[in-house]
Structure 1
Amino acid sequence: MPKISVIMPVYNNALYLQEAVNSILLQTLTDLELIIIDDGSTDGSAGIIHEIGDTRVRKIFHSENMGIVTSLNQGLDLARGQYIARMDSDDIAALNRLEVQAYFMDQNRSIDVCGTGYTTNYLGPVKLNPMNHEEIKVWLLFYCCILHPSVMMRRSSVNRLHIRYDHNYPHAEDYELWNRLSTCAQLANIPHNLMYYRLHGGQVSNTHRAIQDDSARRIRQRQLSGLGIQLSDEEYAQLVKLAEFRVNAENYEEYQAAVGFANWLIERNRQSRVFNEELLTMALSRCISRVPY
């Protein structure tokens, strides 16, 4: 069995696909299988996949587009490795990415899922997400702080926790999964740049923003239900303003409203103890002061 199974869903990414595949097949850790799932592409992606000759590649072709959640869950079912890594067909992995992540997981047996730092520009800057579980749990209230295509999971954890992606949260299936796992698994981020995360107009955040926003709202509300909170439209708009670092400190009323909302969340959390109080207070302070992690 391979040390690592890499799951790569593909849908109409012919322009970037070969580069993404090469960055996995040329990894310094060679004991891997690459599971490529073409989800009914119509742009020539399937032809590129057919031409790959590496015996470590397992190729699955859908006759029609079934959606990324179906492809991801199929990949989880097929994976045979000790670790399962994600990779998108339009990104580029550092050539030592899998070696570094596997070493981290080998040395930290309690960690179920780990992501990495990344850049959206070859010249930087490097984006580092919260590193330890309690920090990640808090920051997940505001944004998806684990980069999906950088993730590595233990296959034993996938089986033990019955990890699968949920069709009910379209275009935010990863955000939903990390939030769900934050209560029953241990999450981490490695503070190293191991991914080039490509930004382009065809990404979900650009093409399906309204659907993604609706899914994110339901995910955040589920988190806050642990505090006994059901946000009104106005209160949710305040949470989004905090999450997007848009509080205008020069507007006294706006700033005061943000501080009041933050103090209310802290007090409700003090009663229920869902989040680490110090970390939640720090995160809210950074949101208000527009100081991203």
Structure 2
Amino acid sequence: MPKISVIMPVYNNAMYLQEAINTILWQTLNDLELIIIDDGSTDGSAGIIHDIKDTRVKKIFHTENMGIVTSLNQGLDLAQGKYIARMDSDDVAALNRLEMQAYFMDTNPTIDICGTGYTTNYLGPVKLNPMHHEEIKVWLLFHSCILHPSVMMRRSSIDRLGISYDYNYPHAEDYELWNRLSSSAKLANLPHNLMYYRPHEGQVSNKHRVIQDDSARRIRQRQLSQLGIQLSDNEYAIMVKLAEYRVNSEDFEDYRIAEGFANWLIDQNRQYQVFDQEALKMALSRCISRMPTNM
């Protein structure tokens, strides 16, 4: 049984695929299996996968495109490793990524899931997400602060918590999963740059923004319902403005409305005690002050 199983869904990424595969097969920790699931690609990706000779690679081919959630859940079912890592077919992993994450998981047995820092440019800057569980839980109200292709999970946690991706949140399946697990699993992020997250026009956030935004709204509302809050359209617009750091501190009315909304969340949390109160105050302060956590 390998120490690490890496799940890589593929759909029409022939331009970047070989580099992504190499950065996993060349890892400093090589006790791994790479599960590549081609989801009906039509651009030559399947041919690249067919040509791989490394015996650590498991190859699954779909005759038609079934969607990433199907591929991800299939990968979870097939994975044999103590740890399950994610990798996208258009990104680049640092060659010590798996070694560093596995060491962290080995030495922090209460952590169920961990992500890493990353760049979107080879020259930087490095983007670091919140490190500790209570911070992550709060920031998940606003955006997905765990980079999906950088994630490593425990096999035992997947089995214990019944972890799988939900088809009902298209193009935000990872954001939904982290929010769902934030009350039952321990989450962490490593403060190290271990991924190059490649920006390009074919990314989900560029191609399916409207659908993704609808999924994100339902995820946020589900979390806020724990505070006894059901947002109107106008209130949700304020929430999005906070999440996107668009509050204009020089506009008195804009700032007043945002501050009132933030105080409402703080008061509700004081009553329901869902989130760490100080972490929530800090996150809302940063949103209003337009100081993203990803520095």
Residue deviations 1:23-71 (CA, integer Å, cap 9, x gap) = 0000000000000000000000000000001000000000000000000
Q: Which residue of 2 aligns with 1:210?
A: 210
Cα offset, 1:128, TM superposition: 0.3
Q: Which residue of 1 aligns with 2:224?
A: 224
Q: Which residue of 1 aligns with 2:102?
A: 102
1:1-293 correspondence to structure 2 within 5 Å: 1-293=1-293
How far apart in 2 are the matches of 1:177 and 1:185?
11
How far apart in 1 are the matches of 2:157 and 2:170?
24
How far apart in 1 are the matches of 2:252 and 2:265?
20
Cα offset, 1:8, TM superposition: 0.0
How far apart in 1 are the matches of 2:147 and 2:125?
16
Structure 1, unmatched stretches of 5+, are none
TM-score, normalized by length of structure 1?
1.00
Amino acid aligned to 1:180: R
Cα offset, 1:18, TM superposition: 0.1
Aligned residues: 293
When the two chains are superposed, the root-mean-square deviation of aligned CA atoms in Å is 0.3
Amino acid aligned to 1:137: K
How far apart in 2 are the matches of 1:178 and 1:10?
22
How many percent identity over aligned positions? 81
SS in 1 for 2:290: coil
Structure 2, unmatched stretches of 5+, are none
SS in 2 for 1:184: coil
How far apart in 2 are the matches of 1:153 and 1:274?
24
How far apart in 1 are the matches of 2:89 and 2:69?
15
Cα offset, 1:250, TM superposition: 1.2
SS in 2 for 1:127: coil
Cα offset, 1:87, TM superposition: 0.1
SS in 2 for 1:281: helix
Post-superposition, which runs of at least 4 consecutive aligned residues in structure 1 deviate over 4 A? Answer: none
Amino acid aligned to 1:77: D
SS in 1 for 2:246: coil
Amino acid aligned to 2:147: L
How far apart in 1 are the matches of 2:153 and 2:209?
27
Cα offset, 1:75, TM superposition: 0.1
TM-score, normalized by length of structure 2?
0.99
How far apart in 2 are the matches of 1:186 and 1:254?
36
How far apart in 1 are the matches of 2:229 and 2:278?
20
Cα offset, 1:145, TM superposition: 0.1
SS in 1 for 2:41: coil
SS in 2 for 1:126: coil
